[in-house]
Structure formats: C-alpha cells, structure tokens
Amino acid sequence: MQWVTLLSQQTSLEMALQEIGIQARAQLPQADLGILFISSAFVSEYPRVLPLVHQLLPIKVLVGCSASGVIGGGLEIEEDAAISLTLARLPDVGLHPFYLEPGTLPDLDASPATWEDYIGIPNQAQPHFVLFADGFSGGVTDLLQGLDFAYPQGTKVGGLLSTGSASSPHGLFLNDRLYRQGIVGVALTGNIRVDSVVAQGCRPVGSPLRVSAAEGNVITSLEDRPPLPLVKAMVEQLPPQEQNLIRYANAIAVGIVTDPFKQDPQPGDFLVRMIVGLDPKSGAIAVGDRLRPGQRIQLHVRDAETAAEDLRRALEQYRLAMQTPPAGALLFACVARGVTLYQTPHVDSSLMRSVLGDIPLGGFFSNGEIGPVGGTTYLHGFTAVFALFRPAYP
C-alpha cells in the first residue's frame, strides 16, 4: 500500500494540474484511488477539472469535492487558490464508488438488506466509507444511521461541502462526472483498515448531570431540577478563566456521555453538541441533538488551547494503540478551525505530523465532519476528523 498527497497553489487551473501531474508521475505514476479537493477560487472551472485530471494521470477511481480551503503537503490553504490530490496504490483492495441522489434514501425502519441493495455492497464485504455531501440536499444524518445499521463494523468518515449555497455552484466529483447536489463516496473492501481520530475541540468542566426529562433536543429537567438555574450555579463555581470563556467567547457546549456504564467519563467519552437555546421562563435548555431521560451530560468549553490539547491527546492515544503505522491519511476539519480558531495556519496538520510522523495527508475544510464517537457515526461541528489508512493484514 502506497499513498502520496500532492498540492498546487497555482492560480491557473491548467498550471495547477500540470504541477500536480509532474509530482504524481515522479512519486506514484499509477493510482488505484484519487481523492481530489479543489478550492472555490476555481468555481467557474469545475466542469473542466475531471477531464484535465484524467488526461494527465491514470486513476481508476477518482472522488472528491470543492471546498473553501484544502489540505495537502503539510499545509492548510484557506480561502486561496489551491488543489490537493491524494493518490493511493491499494493492492488487494476493492473500490466501490457511488453517487446517491437527494431524496432516494431508504426509510430508517428499512432492513439492513434494503440498505445493502441501495448501496450495492453486501455486509459480508465489511466496507469502510469515505463520503462527501452537499449539505443543502439533506439526508446525511439518515444516511449515517442507515450505514451504521447495515455495516456496523465499517468506519464512515467524510465531510459536507464548505462552498456554494442552495443557489450558487459547488462541486462533487466522481470519476468523470460533476454533480451539484447529493452525496458521492467510495467504499473500500478487502485488505484495508480505516482508523479514525475524532477531536471535538472541547474539554469537560464541572461534573456530570443526569437528564431527568427531555422532549426531543430540549432538556426540561436535570437532576429533577430546572436545567438553567442548575447550569448557572455550576458555571459560577468554575475558575474565572473558564467563566470568561463561557461569558465572552460563546464557548459553552454540552457533552453527552456515550457509554452509559462508564462511571467516570474522561475527555473523548462525550458527543459534544452546542447549546442552541435557553428559556429563562421555564428553565429549559435546547442542545444540538436529541436526548432522552437517563442520559448523562457535562458542560464543555472550547477555545484554541483546548482544541489543540484535545487533538494532541486523541492522536497520542491513537499512536499508543495502533498496531502498524498508517500509510496515508485524510483530514476533515471544520471551517471554524484553522486560522479562525488558532490565529495561525496549519495547526491541526502540524499536530498530526508531530505525533504520528510524516504521513501523506490530504483533506479539506468542511461545514460538517463525519466520524464515529463511541461506536456510532455522527455529523459533527467544530471538529477535526482524521481518517488513517493501513493494510488490514500483512
């Protein structure tokens, strides 16, 4: 298994792809898989991208998307012209590209066999998935639930497009086709393992609280008390620095404990969701996900230092647990990270390199990141999701 990631910052599409082609022919002249990310600086040229790539390079399966910022060669290029192309030679790996039209997903109560027929891959193949989605078309969360249901052993990673709007162009790329909506992806089977590192950029503060009543995403009772006064009292007991983050940086979130049997949850044991609404009259709190009575939550704070610490911790845990080094990696980073968060570029990429070594890394800045937490795949925000690829067996 061999991976390379190539990057060009040329402002001409032809010159950028020619530069990438020269690098590719020197490093990996034939590729089974290509993963392409192209910045919105080339928005008017999206229809020309795939024909030019295929003229320059022989790639069996090509998938990718447009983005506000692309990642490659150890750099994170935000809001400027750039093209990133990750190429892989994958012996004994099956590649199954697919396009999913909006509004065609099976019902969530459909059987696993229905989902297998829809995707076109049997569960026995144990596929892993890399997904790129137009967020305006909807259905991403339902797709992730369906994939988890039908393929529970597979890893699902990816992101939502961070360019375009419901009325302006963006691009989803699959082999020789450009799509403006829906979902494109590739399933990988055979001798490949896809590991994931998900860093949500938060740390827990205070102590866990039990949800005693909830309606959808609205918590109406915590520990049999109105939530808002309880949360305010907890915030007042925090150190001044954390209080300032909550008050002035709008950085408070809720972490939902993913393992109901874990008595002492630690960073990484939470699904983090923002607080999206408060009702001073009833004391209710609305968060960005559904909750049910009996679940435990804990307040979280987010800032640049916390985000970097959280990512380093997650990468170091992975390094200690990994059996063989990854051959290549992809990074799906929220558009709210990067320079916007850290005030300096390339932080997430540099952290990966410092912990895991010089692994070829491609990726893009997204409007929603796909990755697993606690064995379930979610659509995240403010998150960095790394996908790390290595052989499943020697």
Same domain, 115 and 150: yes
Q: Are strands 69-72 and 75-78 parallel, antiparallel or unpaired?
A: antiparallel
Q: What's the pLDDT band for 167 if we cut at 50, 70, 90?
A: low
Same domain, 268 and 364: no
Same domain, 34 and 112: yes
Predicted TM-score (pTM) of the model is 0.92
How far, in Å, CA of 59 to CA of 175, rounded?
9
Question: What is the model's pLDDT at position 188?
Answer: 98
Burial of 235 (0-12, 13-18, 19+ CB in 10 A): middle
Question: What is the model's pLDDT at position 327?
Answer: 97
- Please give the backbone phi and psi of residue 96, each rounded to the nearest 5 degrees, phi first: -130, 90
Same domain, 192 and 119: yes
- Please give the backbone phi and psi of residue 282, each rounded to the nearest 5 degrees, phi first: -95, -15
If one counts every other C-beta atom within 10 angstroms of the C-beta of residue 199, the result is: 28
Question: What is the model's pLDDT at position 165?
Answer: 53
Pull the structure tokens for residue 201.
């950029």
Same domain, 71 and 168: yes
β partners of residue 363: 71, 331
From 247, 272, 301, the end of a domain falls on 301
Question: What is the model's pLDDT at position 371?
Answer: 97
Number of domains forming the structure of the chain: 2
How far, in Å, CA of 57 to CA of 265, rounded?
48
Same domain, 152 and 257: no
Q: Is the model more confident about 385 or about 244?
A: 385
Same domain, 147 and 214: no
Same domain, 228 and 325: no
Report the SS3 class of residue 346: coil
Same domain, 166 and 194: yes
Residues 6+ away with beta carbon under 8 Å from 55: none
Range of the domain at 60: 2-199+307-390
Question: What is the model's pLDDT at position 266?
Answer: 85
Q: What's the pLDDT band for 210 if we cut at 50, 70, 90?
A: very high
